[in-house]
């Protein structure tokens, strides 16, 4: 009988210790996970801004209604290398800001987002993208779980991240 009580006491003590350790891990890991998600979101917005600026730079050089942006990377010496065999075509408005596609040709904002992040903005996932045209210029709104994440105005080229 004394052995059964000792075994039960050991089981309870070990269970309580495992519960405390697990709770501590969850408590300390949650901020790290949230910070990683925040950094990923900021990086996606920065990449979107980069695509906008690359297209704008190409438009300044060519003054064409459509521009090509190329896959770029830094080489070992820190120089920028463009891969001319990998390009994306973007429609640019008369002010020189990219609109992705001509009005009525498809989901322009989703196209820009896909170019920037190299992944599709799946409407069924937590990210939703909406296009609308105001004063003849594309207006993009990107949402995560129905909360505005960032916006793009092709009339001015402004990418504005909404702080939550």
Q: Which residues contact 43 (CB under 8 A, 6 or more apart)?
A: none
Query: If pLDDT is split at 50, 70 and 90, which confidence band does 113 have?
Result: very high
In the block, residue with structure tokens 């820190």:
78
What torsion, rounded to 10 degrees, do the Cα atoms 138, 99, 53, 76 define?
Answer: 140
Going by pLDDT thresholds of 50, 70 and 90, the confidence category of residue 120 is low
Greater confidence (38 vs 23) lies with 38
Q: What's the pLDDT tens digit per position in 53-87?
A: 999 999 999 999 999 988 777 778 877 777 777 77
Give the phi and the psi of residue 113 in degrees, each rounded to 5.
-65, -40
Tokens of 20: 């405390």
Task: Evaluate the CA torsion angle 110, 74, 95, 87 in order and state its sign.
Answer: negative
Report pTM.
0.74
């Amino acid at each position: 009988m004394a052995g059964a009580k000792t075994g039960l006491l050991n089981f309870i003590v070990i269970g309580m210790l495992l519960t405390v350790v697990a709770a501590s891990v969850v408590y300390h890991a949650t901020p790290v996970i949230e910070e990683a998600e925040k950094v990923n979101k900021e990086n996606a917005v920065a990449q979107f801004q980069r695509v906008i600026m690359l297209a704008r730079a190409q438009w300044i050089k060519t003054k064409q209604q459509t521009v090509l942006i190329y896959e770029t990377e830094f080489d070992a010496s820190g120089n920028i290398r463009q891969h001319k065999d990998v390009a994306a075509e973007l429609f640019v408005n008369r002010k020189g800001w990219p609109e992705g596609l001509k009005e009525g040709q498809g989901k322009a904002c989703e196209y820009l987002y896909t170019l920037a992040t190299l992944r599709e903005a799946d409407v069924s996932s937590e990210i939703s993208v909406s296009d609308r045209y105001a004063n003849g210029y594309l207006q993009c709104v990107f949402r995560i779980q129905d909360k505005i994440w960032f916006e793009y105005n092709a009339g001015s080229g402004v990418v504005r991240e909404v702080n939550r």
